[in-house]
């Protein structure tokens, strides 16, 4: 992309200025979601909410709201288009990188902003599964092992943060991560930082 052009691709620009499926307080008064999920924190500068209508494990309609930057708005708009008609299992496993690709790329330092929509979507699906008595059905399916010594995955780190871990010490207390060879510390701390941003 030409550095003198807009910071973002034309697709990002389009989804930023004309976002799809945004919840409209007037038009969507009667939108009754089957599940909602909210992640992020205004203190960190962004927050995201997803509302899903689900029939037979298929996402039939979606609305979302955000307090966030252009990157968060555009990627969530693209995500909301992508998941319409998709099974909740496939939607659960969409990767932020796939959305960034569909947007024609995002600047390196804005990738973390686009993760929020994906997390809010998962939170909403988790709520749905819990309501149906199927809690945790998809989690762990695409887990990536971070600590090879103790077989601790990114999902375990995420869960520890959701349960209150906020720094390396409290994460170790919760998971014992990095207590054998310690070589996973850099990667684990990156994930910790990301999850704390999303869940605190």
Partner 1 sequence: MDYNATTPLRPEVRDLMVKSLDIYGNASSMHELGRKARAEIEGARANVAALIGTKDPSTVYFTSGGSESNNTVFNTMFLRGRNQTRHKIITTAIEHPCVLNAAAHLRDEGFPVVFLPVDRDGRIDMDAYRAELGPDVLLVSVMAANNEIGTIEDVGEIARLAKAQGAFVHTDATQAVGKIPVSVEDWNVDYLTLSCHKIYGPKGIGALYVRRKTPIEPLIRGGHQENGVRAGTYNNLGIIGFGEAARLAQEELSEYRQQVGSLRAMLRDLILERIPMVRINGPAAEVLPNTLNVSFPGAEGESILLSLDLEGIEVSTGSACASGSLDPSHVLMAIGLGPELAHGSIRFSLGKYTTEDDVRYVADRLPPIIARLRKMSTIPLEQLAQGIG
Report the catalytic residues: 44, 113
The least CB distance from residue 45 to partner 1, in Å, is: 4
Check binding of 69 to partner 1 (CB under 8 A): yes
One-character DSSP codes across 125-143: HHHHHHHTT-TTSSTTTT-
Distance CA 44, CA 31 (A): 29
Would you count residue 59 as binding partner 1 (CB under 8 A)?
A: no
∠ at Cα 9 (7, 15), nearest 5°?
A: 105
Q: How far is the CB of 168 from partner 1 (least distance, A)?
A: 17
x/- binding map, residues 22-51, to partner 1, per CB under 8 A?
A: xxxx------------x-x-xxxxxxxx--
Residues 90-119 that bind partner 1 (CB under 8 A): 109-110, 113
Give counts: helices (H), strands (E), the chain. Answer: 8, 5
Query: Residue 107: how many CB atoms within 10 A of its CB?
Result: 14
**Site of interaction with partner 1 (CB under 8 A):** 6-8, 13, 16-17, 19, 22-25, 38, 40, 42-49, 65-73, 109-110, 113, 197
């Amino acid at each position: 992309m030409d550095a003198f052009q807009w910071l973002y691709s034309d697709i990002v620009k389009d989804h930023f200025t004309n976002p799809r499926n945004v919840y409209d307080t007037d038009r969507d008064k009667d939108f009754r979601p089957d599940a909602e999920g909210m992640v992020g924190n205004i203190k960190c500068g962004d927050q995201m909410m997803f509302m899903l209508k689900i029939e037979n494990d298929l996402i039939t309609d979606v609305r979302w709201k955000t307090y966030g930057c252009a990157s968060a708005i555009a990627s969530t708009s693209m995500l909301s288009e992508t998941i319409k008609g998709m099974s909740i299992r496939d939607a659960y496993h969409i990767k932020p990188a796939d959305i960034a690709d569909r947007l024609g790329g995002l600047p390196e330092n804005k990738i973390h902003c686009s993760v929020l929509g994906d997390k809010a979507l998962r939170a909403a699906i988790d709520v749905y599964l819990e309501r149906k008595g199927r809690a945790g059905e998809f989690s762990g399916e695409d887990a990536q092992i971070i600590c090879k010594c103790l077989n601790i995955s990114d999902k375990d780190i995420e869960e520890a943060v959701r349960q209150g871990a906020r720094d390396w010490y409290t994460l170790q207390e919760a998971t014992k991560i990095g207590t054998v060879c310690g070589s996973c510390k850099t990667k684990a701390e990156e994930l910790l930082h990301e999850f704390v941003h999303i869940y605190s």
